[in-house]
Amino acid sequence: MDLPIIYHPDYVAPLPPGHRFPMQKFGMLYDMLINDGVGKPEQFHQPVRPPVKLIELVHTPGYVEAYCQGSLDGKQQRRIGLPWSEALVNRTCVAVGGTILTAKLALECGLACNTAGGTHHAFPDYGSGFCIFNDLAIACRVFLQEGLVRRVLIVDLDVHQGDGTAYIFRDDPNVFTFSMHCEVNFPGIKQKSDLDVPLAEGMGDDEYLQTLGSYLPDLLSHVKPDLVLYDAGVDTHRDDKLGKLQLTDTGLFCREMQVLSTCTKVGVPVACVIGGGYATDMAALVYRHSILHRAATQVYQQRWF
């Protein structure tokens, strides 16, 4: 069996020309994975739009309804940073369905990768920083509620702090939130994760990987999770438009191998989402995101064949 990869054509919703959010990267990532032979068409799983009641495991009904109907006020809408459209509502919900499916397949197969997800700045009653509904938090709540997992560890290595996720699970002993991010990046006001590791601006591959290695194995033995949700944001790259760290493509590949092999070696399933990544060179950006799927394919083959 091959690594399960999750994708839906609706991950791409139209935005006004020149909008700073790189929406087209999701479709281009699918194309690159197919064209480079990273994934065969039959490896791809298509999610469905989840019932609203699952989104409401994390978000307030008032916010979910107002967002879906396009009746948020101007200030709330600007905080999200993406112009409302029916297509974007569908995209937002399908992407949540994608992370739920990724977690389900990870529990079945040991490892699975989404080609979207990681909307970690979304809070229960408002969205922020391109994030509308918190897919990571919703997936946690769904599987905890179904009794399929007892403890979840969220490993958030996006360059930005997973502030929404940290806030949502601030009093939940069943979900451990770990965020390693650049301390001077957005959000200006940080929340308190169960473990925050703020990194100095300009940190490069070696120091980054050593820091990660000094936390991850201990976290796994301390938290003893039944599932890891991994946010593999590539806005840690030196050429990222928003991130202020200095990782290279090689550094990213080493990071993904480190996270995935450390978790799978101790038998913990990992559900991966791609997280943030911002660049004008779309081909380079899409390649950076695909490093996750390339590394996951290696780890999956080493473990199961």
Residues lying near Zn ion in the complex (CB under 5 A):
158, 160, 233, 235, 276
Closest contact distance (angstroms) between CB of 113 and Zn ion is 18
Tokens of 226: 């039944």
When the beta carbons of 50 and 275 are compared against Zn ion, the nearer one is: 275
When the beta carbons of 163 and 205 are compared against Zn ion, the nearer one is: 163
When the beta carbons of 10 and 158 are compared against Zn ion, the nearer one is: 158
Closest contact distance (angstroms) between CB of 240 and Zn ion is 9
Closest contact distance (angstroms) between CB of 231 and Zn ion is 9
Cα gap 211→189, rounded to integer Å = 23
Closest contact distance (angstroms) between CB of 190 and Zn ion is 13
Residue nearest to Zn ion (CB): 276
- Tell me how long the chain is: 305
286: Cβ–Cβ under 8 A, 6 or more apart, which residues? 25, 28, 29, 32
Tokens of 92: 């937002």
When the beta carbons of 176 and 186 are compared against Zn ion, the nearer one is: 186
Closest contact distance (angstroms) between CB of 241 and Zn ion is 11
> Sheet of 5-6: strands edge to edge?
44-45, 5-6, 111-114, 270-273, 227-231, 152-156, 175-182, 195-199
When the beta carbons of 110 and 276 are compared against Zn ion, the nearer one is: 276
∠ CA 261-237-219, nearest 5°, is 35
